[in-house]
């Protein structure tokens, strides 16, 4: 692992097996900044683990971790961010849909002062190739309307491929516990705090292997919660935490970083 990484790249994975190899190859080829890459799975039996463990032997920047916060992508992302060491965190998927060539530029945006830097499929120069049409329609509609109505800073608030100031995430916390709505949650929180959000174009390609774990009907209500939350007056961090949790503060779940890597 790099001694002082500028970026921690968090990859939630679920039974990807050897399918994750192409994504890892592209990341290590594309990212030039000092980085650590954290692949987070839910159980020791996940088929991703042995593949990543073997890859680590030739790539010291890579670590595999077993999430202890609970199952699901939101918990894996939370665990990865809490386990990260760099001041900037990038969340990207294990399925190869995201273009890692944007990671360096996303990190530099955060280093210049934005708290959320989004890779946007829906701004000029961006594109989404493939994927379910209805899901694409909902995602584009949500992102475009948020930008028009709230000046959210990005037309692609629902995309998980984003860079965050780790200090910002630590200050506002992550309340999502199930799906991939964390990207929208943190964008909405930045909007309510009136903190800067920026975007750069990206081209998203539908996965070439395996099946998506995105559960549209289950997770739509969770996306709607954060979509609605983005509207409203400016809040302080204390007010934001109170409103986001409904008065039930969600304390961070401590963990021993040294004990979380799989053997």
- CATH fold of 7-246: Spore Coat Polysaccharide Biosynthesis Protein SpsA; Chain A (3.90.550)
Residue 161 and residue 96 in contact, taking contact as beta carbons nearer than 8 Å: no
Cβ-based neighbour number of residue 119 at 10 Å: 30
pLDDT category at 179 given cuts 50, 70, 90 is confident
Residue 210 near residue 103 (C-beta atoms within 8 A): no
Read off the tokens for 241.
Answer: 């935490």
List pLDDT tens digits, range 9-66: 999 999 999 999 999 999 999 999 999 999 999 999 999 999 999 999 999 999 999 9
| DSSP H helices in the chain | 21-30, 48-56, 73-83, 103-111, 133-150, 166-172, 182-193, 216-229, 237-244
pTM: 0.87
Q: Which of these, 177, 13, 29, 197, lies nearest to 118 by C-alpha position?
A: 197
Q: Where are the domains of the chain?
A: 7-246
């Amino acid at each position: 692992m790099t001694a002082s990484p500028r970026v921690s790249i968090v990859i939630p994975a679920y039974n990807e097996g050897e399918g994750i190899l192409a994504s890892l190859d592209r990341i290590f080829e594309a990212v030039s900044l000092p980085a650590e890459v954290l692949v987070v799975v839910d159980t020791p039996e996940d088929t991703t683990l042995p593949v990543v463990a073997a890859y680590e032997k030739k790539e010291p920047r890579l670590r595999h971790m077993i999430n202890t916060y609970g199952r699901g992508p939101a918990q894996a992302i939370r665990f990865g961010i809490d386990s990260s060491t760099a001041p900037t965190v990038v969340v990207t998927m294990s399925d190869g849909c995201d273009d890692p060539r944007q990671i360096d530029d996303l990190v530099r945006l955060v280093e210049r002062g934005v708290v959320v830097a989004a890779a946007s499929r829906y701004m000029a120069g961006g594109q989404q190739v493939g994927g379910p049409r209805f899901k694409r329609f909902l995602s584009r509609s949500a992102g475009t309307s948020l930008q028009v109505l709230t000046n959210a800073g990005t037309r692609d608030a629902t995309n998980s491929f984003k860079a965050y100031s780790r200090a910002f995430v630590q200050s506002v916390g992550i309340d999502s516990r199930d799906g991939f709505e964390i990207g929208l949650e943190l964008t909405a929180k930045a909007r309510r705090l009136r903190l800067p959000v920026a975007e750069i174009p990206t081209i998203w390609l539908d996965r070439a292997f395996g099946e998506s774990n995105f559960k549209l009907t289950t997770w739509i209500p969770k996306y709607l919660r954060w979509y609605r939350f983005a509207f409203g007056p400016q809040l302080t961090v204390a007010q934001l935490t109170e409103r986001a949790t409904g008065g039930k503060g969600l304390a961070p779940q401590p963990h021993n970083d040294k004990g979380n890597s799989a053997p």
